[in-house]
Amino acid sequence: GAVVSQHPSWVICKSGTSVKIECRSLDFQATTMFWYRQFPKQSLMLMATSNEGSKATYEQGVEKDKFLINHASLTLSTLTVTSAHPEDSSFYICSASGRDRGNYGYTFGSGTRLTVV
């Protein structure tokens, strides 16, 4: 149990375009989803926390207008990188926490590697 599907696993886009990344909890209800960004050889950086049906809470330094997060249902959260630039190239990972966190803890998606050219 507790599977999170993240899609796409990799994407290449042109500078100035927008890219949407989906994160789905397949067999549990994810009341909270987290989005992380991983820079090469660095640790994960929490970007934002989203709760179903409410606006995401962004970490300091993360541009909310650039990284749009939507958590419209208990099984789906999306991260849209708007007007992407090469410096946005990174590995993005979502994680989800379910209602029964004691059993599930946090389940991570497989990540999305974004390359902006």
Partner 1 sequence: GDSVTQMEGPVTLSEEAFLTINCTYTATGYPSLFWYVQYPGEGLQLLLKATKADDKGSNKGFEATYRKETTSFHLEKGSVQVSDSAVYFCALSGTDDKIIFGKGTRLHILP
Binds partner 1 (CB under 8 A): choice among 11, 13, 44, 74: 44
Shorter beta-carbon distance to partner 1: residue 49 or 80: 49
Cβ at position 63, least distance to partner 1 in Å: 19
Round to whole Å and give the CA distance between 5 and 27: 10
Token pair, residue 89, equals 């190239």
Compute, in degrees rounded to 10, the torsion defined by CA atoms 28, 29, 32, 38.
40
Q: Does 6 bind partner 1 (CB under 8 A)?
A: yes
Q: What count of Cα atoms within 13 Å lies in the side-chain half-sphere of residue 94?
A: 31
Binds partner 1 (CB under 8 A): choice among 15, 17, 29, 42: 42
Binds partner 1 (CB under 8 A): choice among 11, 13, 22, 49: 49
Round to whole Å and give the CA distance between 44 and 56: 18
Phi first, then psi, for residue 87 (nearest 5°) are -70, -10
Q: Does 115 bind partner 1 (CB under 8 A)?
A: no
Q: Does 111 bind partner 1 (CB under 8 A)?
A: yes
Query: Which chain residues interact with partner 1 by CB under 8 A?
Result: 6, 32, 34, 41-44, 46, 49, 93, 95, 97, 102, 105-111
